[in-house]
Amino acid sequence: MSPPAYYSVAQKVVLVTGALAPVGRKLSRTLIELGARVVLVDDAGDGSGEALVAELCQLSGRESCCVYIETDLSKLRDIQVMVDAAVLTFGRLDVLVNSAERFTDRMAGEDDAQRICECIDVNMRAPIVATWVFARYLREAGIDGVVVNVAALAGLLPARGRRHEVYGAAAAGLIHFSEALRTHAPRIRVCALAPYYYNDSHASSSLLDLTSSSDQVVASVLRCIEDPRLAGRTLLVAGSSSYSHTTWIANLFSYIQMSFVVLWGLLTLLVRRIKQRERR
């Protein structure tokens, strides 16, 4: 049976990590405008989360449209608590958007190891654990759900430079994890998003400019949620365009690459055995 053509967020409960960042703020507002109830998750304890809740409720005219949960995503217990709190507040949880991120700004000091761990914890470990906790909740509740893991294009195209090595490695791990869960659909539909870079002060103006705006990233997250056909796929966002990375062309190249690796391995093994016989 083919999947439905559209998944509406209206009346759904959506949990958004990194909700106080530009993309998280715009995504939360858009979701509420579309009729969803939103659980805002971030690590700020200065009242900014509560202020955003008050602002969104006032704009929407709905007093209970969202709630803020302060969460340290580097702590496994906090991840479980945020899911439990979302279900306790709204009675259910339908969609999980892992959009929180952490950069390694510099890699030349005594805090290198700590910065590396924080980057991996927030960018890869936390979304993976959150997806697992969410999947367990869906199984126990007997309902279907959606997960969108916001990674980065650096996870597909390795780049050098400060903050890119570890950040890209974490993004690559998250993308691999998301695509590997394709077989779990439709009970839990997981897909990944890989934006190149977004900067609202410099939106793309030509075909050669790959920079996107936060509005384009938000639109791509919504596409991942609403389109069941993207289960197990990675949606690339570059410039004003977005497209699925896991297409038949990508699968063909993967098959060719794997075949080449296998044939090369067999050829190498054959050459080694021939040389060993010659030595005897």
**What is residue 221's predicted lDDT score, i.e. its pLDDT?**
95
At residue 70, the pLDDT reads 97
Which run of H or of E encompasses 227? none
Q: How far is residue 273's CA from residue 279's CA, in Å, rounded to a whole number? A: 10
CA 43: distance to chain centroid?
18
For the chain, the first-to-last Cα distance in angstroms comes to 61
Has this prediction a pTM greater than 0.95? no
Nearest residue to 126 (alpha-carbon basis) of 220, 41, 21, 27: 41
* Rounded CA separation 118/122 (Å): 6
**Cβ contact 70:39 at 8 Å:** no
- Rounded Cα distance, 261 and 179, in Å: 21
Judging by beta carbons within 10 Å of its beta carbon (0-12, 13-18, 19+), is residue 234 exposed, middle or buried? buried
Cα(50)–Cα(13) distance, rounded to whole angstroms?
A: 18
pLDDT computed for residue 56 by the predictor: 96
Going from the C-alpha of 232 to that of each of 99, 170, 221, the distances in angstroms are 17, 18, 14
Task: Please give the chain's pLDDT, 280 residues, in tens.
Answer: 455 678 999 999 999 999 999 999 999 999 999 999 999 999 999 999 999 999 999 999 988 899 999 999 999 999 999 999 999 999 999 999 999 998 765 555 556 788 888 889 999 999 999 999 999 999 999 999 999 999 988 888 776 655 578 888 999 999 999 999 998 988 999 999 998 766 665 554 444 455 668 888 999 999 999 999 999 999 888 765 555 555 555 555 545 655 665 677 678 778 888 888 877 7
pLDDT of residue 207: 44
Q: Vertex 55, ends 47 and 89: CA angle to 5°?
A: 75
pLDDT at 130: 98
Provide the pairing of β-strand 234-238 with 241-244.
Answer: antiparallel
Query: Looking at residue 109, what is its pLDDT?
Result: 56
Q: Six-digit token pair at 91?
A: 């009675």
Q: What are phi and psi of 237, to 5 degrees?
A: -125, 115
